[in-house]
Amino acid sequence: MVARVKLGFLSHLILISFAGVYCYEPNWDSLDTRPIPSWYDDAKLGIFIHWGVFSVPSFSSEWFWWNWKGLATPAVLAFMAENYPPDFTYGDFAKDFTAEFFDAAEWVEMFESSGAKYLVFVSKHHEGFTNWPSKYSFNWNSLAVGPNRDIVGELMNATRQTSNLHFGLYHSLFEWFHPLYLADKATGFKTQDFVNQKTLPELYEIVNTYKPDIVWSDGDWEAPDTYWKATDFLAWLYTDSPVKDTVVVNDRWGKNISCHHGDVYTCGDRFNPGVLQKHKWVNAMTIDKHSWGYRRNARLEDYLTIEELLQTFIITVSCGGNMLMNVGPPKHGHIDPIYEERLRQMGSWMKVNGEGIYGSRPWTYQNDTLTSHVWYTKKTDAGRTDVYAFVFYWPESNTFFLAGPKTTAASTISLLGYPGYFSYSTRQPSGVDIIVPAIPINKLPCDWIWVFKITAVAN
């Protein structure tokens, strides 16, 4: 038992144990004082994986069940009428969630090849199906039906045994059609039977069993955080859980909590404000523009190009965010080549330009005012600040103009992945004109988005 001493009138803030470990009370004033573990801010890129029973119909989106029975979307109603018998239920899809080609080590190798430093796997989406053998999801879990495997466990083991990736889990607080949740909802969330018998037991179960470095919460928006007992769980997670020193959580812990509380703010799917944020944030986004889950009828134009992905990523990092890039595997578990190509393209770019990404921080300016489509990051060491200028389009002339950097006598300019230094002249009161040599296309260090490094800047 950790002994705790309250700090007088600051008792609503951090409690300090005699062991020197920070302890937290179950309220936002206390929880919000917890510093985010440094590994997360340094990592910049993570991989999101949406996989579940919704991957069987693989039509519409991962919200298929709700679009069918909740919204009664015409396209989904027609899909079911044309392809399944009238008495077919959503539960009947589970037996076809076969995962016969799922190889956790293969997934992990692919994810790590992207340059990502962590992954977040959907342990349970709003359909309620758990990708682990949960004690609280009888006959609606991946060991009891479908794959007959502990998917979360296999992926956790492969991640930790074969890579340096941090392992994270997504978990939906609510379930669309669970009777206990619907009963609680009918009372205006004055009862908490679903939370007490389902949500919280599952959360404690996945943390104690799989020890994730990220707990990504979702499905929170209908009920207040007090209904979810969110602060009680987070106080335990930060203070007494097996991952208390490394875990990172997002902001989806109750109605109106998003963008206000949590280690990292999501503020909404595909959040990318394009300006510097005061709080650490994440751009959770999809390679498939329209869905988090796999879609059999997706067209090539529905997938972001590598140029679009990199531009989104760089703007995100420049403004202080991480990017969580989603892939949606099919029911059989072999990730489609379109996703693999994007992941490996991202990784090839990161091998050249990762110096300006990993461990970087937002600079004084996020983008340049003289030349458009140039975004910045910085690194500071021993009092020296180096700036990285990410150039979306290769300069059309032999002189490249930047308004942001203010050079010093010690400044040098280079192109990441290319040998030597470039000549430059200074502008007043700040800025540089970089002399760009004629580099043959086959000598360029990468195929998309080039990075100039300006050392020892004054600003």
Angstrom distance (rounded) from CA 106 to CA 101: 10
Residues 6+ apart with CB under 8 A from 211: 156, 167, 242, 243
Chain position carrying tokens 């037991």 = 201
| Mean pLDDT across 72-100 | 98
Q: pLDDT band for position 409 (50/70/90)?
A: very high
Query: 305-319: per-residue pLDDT in tens?
Result: 999 999 999 999 999
Return the structure tokens found at 95: 């037996």
pLDDT value at residue 6: 35
Mean pLDDT of 44-73: 98
For residue 314, the model assigns a pLDDT of 98
Statement: residue 20 has pLDDT above 90: no
The total of other beta-carbon atoms located within 10 Å of residue 440's CB is 6
- CA–CA distances in Å: residue 81 to residues 73, 112, 177, 269: 12, 41, 21, 31
pLDDT, tens digit, 9 for 90 and up, residues 282-308: 999 999 999 999 999 999 999 999 999
Residues 386-404 pLDDT 10s:
999 999 999 989 999 999 9
Query: Please, which pLDDT band fits residue 21 given cuts at 50, 70 and 90?
Result: low
Confidence class for position 19, pLDDT limits 50, 70, 90: very low
